[in-house]
């Protein structure tokens, strides 16, 4: 019998820090990160809510757990049902509400869900429970400048682009950043909830300056197991600038809800909305 709650992998990525991979829907694997301090632990994102994060985290640490969602998309927030002390930037409250409401989830399951399990009975029962659960809105992160885990402070930085309330987390002690979908090697900024390309370029400029000032040495994202660095962000910025300076750059990208452009440049990919001049 298929057990969807066992579809995960845990790995130590550096001292007191773990990646938790949830093998999600339609091949969309999502990496979450667990940062353990002397007194508390912090989970970056909580995935699709398929795996039992409470139990998985409990095997690593018994310290009180704080969960910070980097943005409101369902692959990052749906574990909240099983967790307490969760946070999100309030700018993404609406994105969270839309991504966790039953009609949208039902559509998502019908269109995308775990294709290899689509016709299996256990999956149907699992999906039915998943779409009809209540997903409580996390608390607002807005007025909390950092989380002190005990000899380890975790700061956050607003990085509007992928969604307007996207944030990155910065681990001061180990000079590491977690920027999730907000600044990966393939960024989606074509969504209704995304900013314009111009605004995203401003985000990247200020985020790069922030990380340079902090002397960050490593970055981790949500859908790619590799360790990244600041140079990758500079390449992404150069790709976005190229798109802005060359209207119509890249191929047309269409899905049922959007028309956008997909541009591959400087070893990165950006899907963006064309700007009207």
Residues that bind Zn ion (rule: CB under 5 A) add up to a total of: 4
DSSP line for 133-154: S--PPPEE-TT--EEE-SS-EE
Q: With 0-12 CB in 10 A as exposed, 13-18 as middle and 19+ as buried, what is 253?
A: middle
Task: Kindly identify the residues of this chain, within the stretch 190-249, that bind Zn ion according to CB under 5 A.
Answer: 222
Q: Is the Cβ–Cβ distance between 112 and 127 less than 8 Å? A: no
Per CB under 5 A, 45 contacts Zn ion: no
- Interface stretch with Zn ion, choices 9-17, 73-81, 87-95, 150-158 (CB under 5 A): 73-81
In sign, the C-alpha dihedral spanning 45, 182, 23, 217 is: negative
Q: Give the residue, chosen from 40, 73, 157, 185, that forms a contact with Zn ion under the rule CB under 5 A.
A: 73
Per CB under 5 A, 164 contacts Zn ion: no
Kind and range of the H or E run holding 20: strand 17-22
- Interface stretch with Zn ion, choices 8-16, 96-104, 176-184, 261-269 (CB under 5 A): 176-184
Q: Which is nearer to Zn ion, 152 or 164 (CB)?
A: 164
Cβ 269 to Zn ion shortest distance, Å: 15
Q: What are phi and psi of 135, to 5 degrees?
A: -115, 95
Per CB under 5 A, 29 contacts Zn ion: no
Cβ 78 to Zn ion shortest distance, Å: 11
In sign, the C-alpha dihedral spanning 20, 25, 29, 32 is: negative
- Interface stretch with Zn ion, choices 10-18, 51-59, 85-93, 179-187 (CB under 5 A): 179-187
Q: Which is nearer to Zn ion, 75 or 179 (CB)?
A: 75
Q: Which of 18, 13, 64 is nearest to 45 (CA)?
A: 18
Order of strands across the sheet that contains 259-265: 186-189, 268-272, 259-265, 251-254
- Interface stretch with Zn ion, choices 75-83, 100-108, 206-214, 252-260 (CB under 5 A): 75-83
Site string for Zn ion, 94-113 (x = CB under 5 A): --------------------
Applying CB under 5 A, the residues found at the interface with Zn ion are 73, 75, 181, 222
């Amino acid at each position: 019998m298929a057990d969807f709650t066992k579809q995960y992998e845990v790995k130590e990525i550096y001292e007191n820090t773990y990646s938790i991979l949830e093998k999600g829907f339609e091949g969309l694997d999502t990496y979450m990160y667990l940062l353990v301090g002397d007194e508390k632990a912090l989970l970056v994102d909580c995935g699709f809510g398929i795996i039992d994060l409470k139990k998985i985290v409990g095997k690593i640490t018994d310290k009180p757990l704080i969960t910070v969602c980097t943005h409101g998309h369902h692959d990052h927030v749906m574990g909240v049902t099983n967790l307490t002390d969760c946070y999100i930037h309030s700018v993404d409250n609406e994105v969270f509400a839309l991504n966790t409401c039953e009609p949208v989830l039902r559509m998502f399951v019908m269109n995308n869900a775990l294709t290899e399990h689509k016709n299996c009975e256990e999956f149907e029962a699992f999906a039915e429970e998943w779409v009809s659960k209540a997903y409580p809105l996390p608390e607002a992160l807005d007025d909390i400048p950092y989380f002190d885990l005990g000899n380890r402070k975790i700061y956050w930085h607003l990085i509007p682009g992928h969604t307007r309330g996207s944030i990155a987390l910065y681990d001061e002690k180990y000079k590491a950043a977690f920027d999730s979908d907000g600044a990966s090697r393939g960024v989606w900024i074509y969504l209704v909830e995304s900013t314009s390309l111009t605004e995203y370029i401003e985000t990247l400029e200020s985020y790069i300056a922030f990380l340079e000032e902090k002397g960050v040495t490593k970055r981790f994202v949500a859908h790619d197991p590799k360790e990244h660095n600041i140079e990758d962000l500079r390449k992404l910025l150069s790709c976005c600038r190229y798109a802005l300076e060359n209207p119509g750059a890249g191929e047309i990208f269409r899905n049922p809800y959007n028309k956008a452009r997909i541009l591959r440049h400087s070893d990165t990919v950006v899907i963006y909305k064309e700007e009207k001049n």
